Amino acid sequence: MATGFELHRHRNPATGRAWESVYTPDVLAVGEGPNAWTGFFTQQPRWSRGTYETIVRQLRKAPFSLPPGRLFN
């Protein structure tokens, strides 16, 4: 989340154009997940909290470097 946010705040130095994201349904990384439902449901709030913390920390920099459409998206 934090890396993607930072990429969208900056421009590609080679082209001067803004970075863009694309969706791909391909599996790009493989890892282990929780081995039980209880682990899954305790992991979800940690991921969510980490995402919100990233947004709060990075958002104060964003109004100066992101166009309104990307900021609210």
Question: What is the residue extent of each domain of the chain?
Answer: 1-70
For the whole model, what pTM was predicted? 0.48
Are 34 and 43 within 8 A, CB to CB? yes
Inform me whether the pLDDT recorded for 66 exceeds 80: no
6-43 confidence digits (pLDDT tens) = 787 788 899 999 888 888 899 888 888 788 888 888 88
> How many CB atoms are located within 10 Å of the residue 70 CB?
15
How far apart (Å, rounded) are the C-alpha atoms in residues 12 and 10?
Answer: 7
Task: Give kind and range of the element (H or E) at residue 12.
Answer: none
Inform me whether the pLDDT recorded for 50 exceeds 90: no
Residues 6+ apart with CB under 8 A from 38: none
